[in-house]
Amino acid sequence: MSGYTRKWVGGVAVATLALGALGAAGASAAPGKPGESRYTAGASGVGDEYFPYAGNGGYDVEHYDLDITYTPPAPSPAPVEGEFEGVATIDLVATQDLDRFNLDLRGMDVEALSVDGRPAASVAPPVAGAEVDGQAFWHVQDDAARVWELTVQPRPKLKAGQHVQVVVEYGGTTTRPLDVEGALYGWVTQRDGAMVVSEPEGSMTWYPVSDHQTDKATYSFEITVPEGKVAVANGIQPRPEETADGWTTWYWDAPDQQASYLTTASVGDFDLRDAYTSASGVPIIDAVDTKLSPTRLATTNASLGRQADMIDFFESKFGPYPFVAYGSIVDNDSVGYALETQTRPVYSSQASEGTVAHEAAHQWFGNAVSPERWQDIWLNEGWATYATWMWNEERGIRTAQQSYDNWYAPARNQAYWDFQIGDPGPLGLFAGQVYNRGAATLHALRVEIGDEAFFEAARLWVERFDDSSGTADDFQAIYEEVSGQDLEAFFQTWLYDQQKPPATWTTP
């Protein structure tokens, strides 16, 4: 890891330890020593070095049921703020004997919380080490340190393997949250609704969550908005929307394992289109803002019209489409980027064909198989970019080799090559190198081991780590297993060496 990253993470850790009352930092609590309670606090993070307080330890979430009522901002004047009320019903299973455990929740207030139907008392965060009586919850929110932790002390304590249902009633005024590098993310309030895109740890801005992809879960949604607004989340509509007294409730079900950052529940003036399937039968449900200009609507419609072909093409290369449905949300507003939200990517302003191919490929690379640590982000963006190179070849625009050459040929400054895509740091997750050097890495790998091994290993990667996550080392291991080659030097050069990789590759 670069010194730069270490410093950043260290800064957060130091700043936040003083907060106390959060539960043990780090991945797992030590087993009880003799004479001590075997019930311990679940960790306040899953141990991701880039986001030490993302996700939580001590339990696995099985299902989130999110019941949301949302009022978009008044048409004018400023501020752009909405009103949000939520009830999150979280089914989880303890993975250790738990005295207390955390959820991540940012910028919302908890009004009530219960465990298996028994209400918990709302208390002030105790000073570190202090005891709290009875079943209780407390909420630490430190924007400067970027620490947002809701702690639940269940009584009775939870035994490892025990299933419980936690219901959190919460809400507040929605704003326009920023990620660590200053990009809009999370529940991004828009005049006409909300664009909800939460990579890497912005889901906590709109529901209480173990906000890390190593704890995937299924989801269901009930979203109530003023009549005329359309709410679109992941998956399928289990039943039609219902309107009464000026409010419409939209129902969505996402029955596939899903990472928190891939959850969406966007609200807007959408034209909901539910009319077609891929050749393999994947239903495609699109939501397109009715306010797109004619030019942007034409671009968007042409791109969305190719989604079924893209799924067919990627299935032929990467294996079966991994989820129940697909489709896109195209908003007239912008957060500055698109996101591959599971089964239903969100696009800013319009959807170009290249971006639609990119987000479609993420369904295999990033969504079915997620990066186990944020450090492994090149596995997402390198693959999605490379798949777009493949799509451009399929469409007769240019070959993947030509895309590679276009990346390789130009002279670039040393700062470009200094950047390590295998350890980009929390501020470098979406740097250009992660995308383009990442794609070039995959192309060089393909040239190195040949098409047959390259695609066989890609399919094995998706199959073996489906509904889960993997690291760059797991990825290398699969490619070594399938190709029979030692690829250590290859990955060292492409992911970490701070120079332009050599033009040709031969295994030492």
Question: How far apart, in whole angstroms, are the C-alpha atoms of residue 500 and residue 362?
Answer: 26
Q: Is 384 in the site for Zn ion (CB under 5 A)?
A: yes
From the list 134-142, 158-166, 333-341, 466-474, the region that binds ligand TRP by CB under 6 A is: 333-341
Contact 395, 322 (CB under 8 A): no
Query: Smallest gap, in angstroms, from Cβ of residue 320 to Zn ion?
Result: 21
DSSP H helices, 365-450, are: 378-394, 400-408, 414-418, 432-449
Instruction: Output 135 or 343, the one with its CB closest to Zn ion.
Output: 343
Instruction: Output 192 or 359, the one with its CB closest to ligand TRP.
Output: 359
User: Per CB under 6 A, which of residues 78..107 are in contact with ligand TRP?
Assistant: none
If one counts every other C-beta atom within 10 angstroms of the C-beta of residue 42, the result is: 25
User: Per CB under 5 A, which of residues 344..363 are in contact with Zn ion?
Assistant: none
Q: Which residues, including other chains, have CB under 8 Å from residue 504's CB and lie 6 or more apart?
A: none
Question: How far apart, in whole angstroms, are the C-alpha atoms of residue 309 and residue 307?
Answer: 5
DSSP state of 15: H
Sheet of strand 40-41, all strands in order from the earlier edge strand to the far edge: 40-41, 98-103, 147-153, 136-142, 121-122
**Within its chain, how far is the Cα of 52 from the centroid?**
16
Instruction: Output 253 or 381, the one with its CB closest to Zn ion.
Output: 381
Q: Which does 253 bind (CB under 5 to 8 A by kind): Zn ion, ligand TRP, none?
A: none
From the list 92-100, 223-231, 296-304, 375-383, the region that binds Zn ion by CB under 5 A is: 375-383
Instruction: Output 231 or 339, the one with its CB closest to Zn ion.
Output: 339
Binds ligand TRP (CB under 6 A): choice among 340, 423, 448, 474: 340
Q: Which does 430 bind (CB under 5 to 8 A by kind): Zn ion, ligand TRP, none?
A: ligand TRP
- Cross-strand bridge partners of residue 252: 221
Q: Is 292 helix (H, G, I), strand (E, B) or coil?
A: coil
From the list 21-29, 383-391, 394-402, 493-501, the region that binds Zn ion by CB under 5 A is: 383-391
User: Per CB under 6 A, which of residues 418..447 are in contact with ligand TRP?
Assistant: 430
Contact 53, 210 (CB under 8 A): no
Instruction: Output 287 or 379, the one with its CB closest to Zn ion.
Output: 379
C-alpha pair distances (Å), 125 with each of 39, 44, 323, 401: 20, 14, 41, 57
Instruction: Output 88 or 339, the one with its CB closest to ligand TRP.
Output: 339
Q: Which residues, including other chains, have CB under 8 Å from residue 428's CB and lie 6 or more apart?
A: 419, 434
Query: Smallest gap, in angstroms, from Cβ of residue 10 to ligand TRP?
Result: 24
C-alpha pair distances (Å), 143 with each of 18, 35, 140, 169: 14, 38, 10, 22
Question: How far apart, in whole angstroms, are the C-alpha atoms of residue 278 and residue 120?
Answer: 48
Helix-helix angle 400-408:432-449, to 10 degrees: 120
From the list 2-10, 143-151, 160-168, 337-345, the region that binds ligand TRP by CB under 6 A is: 337-345
Going residue by residue from 351 to 370, which x/- string records binding to ligand TRP, judged by CB under 6 A? -------xx-----------
From the list 69-77, 216-224, 300-308, 332-340, the region that binds ligand TRP by CB under 6 A is: 332-340
Q: Is 140 in the site for ligand TRP (CB under 6 A)?
A: no
Question: How far apart, in whole angstroms, are the C-alpha atoms of residue 180 and residue 202?
Answer: 10
Q: Is 180 in the site for ligand TRP (CB under 6 A)?
A: no
Query: Smallest gap, in angstroms, from Cβ of residue 434 to ligand TRP?
Result: 9
State the residue number with the nearest CB to Zn ion.
Answer: 384
Instruction: Output 325 or 384, the one with its CB closest to ligand TRP.
Output: 384
Binds ligand TRP (CB under 6 A): choice among 97, 149, 222, 381: 381
Q: C-alpha angle with apex 286: 284 to 287, nearest 5 degrees?
A: 160
φ/ψ (deg, to 5) at 57: -105, 165
Q: Record the tokens describing residue 267, joined without a space.
A: 């609200």
Q: Is 338 in the site for ligand TRP (CB under 6 A)?
A: yes
Q: Is 478 in the site for Zn ion (CB under 5 A)?
A: no
The beta strands (E) that lie in 291-430 are given as 329-331, 346-348, 369-371
Q: Is 197 in the site for Zn ion (CB under 5 A)?
A: no
Instruction: Output 41 or 304, the one with its CB closest to Zn ion.
Output: 304
Query: Smallest gap, in angstroms, from Cβ of residue 27 to Zn ion?
Result: 27
Instruction: Output 215 or 340, the one with its CB closest to ligand TRP.
Output: 340
- Cross-strand bridge partners of residue 91: 63, 165
Instruction: Output 104 or 199, the one with its CB closest to Zn ion.
Output: 199
Q: Is 339 in the site for ligand TRP (CB under 6 A)?
A: yes
Q: Total residues contacting ligand TRP (rule CB under 6 A)?
A: 10
Residues that bind Zn ion in the complex, under the rule CB under 5 A? 381, 384
Residues that bind ligand TRP in the complex, under the rule CB under 6 A? 183, 199, 337-340, 358-359, 381, 430
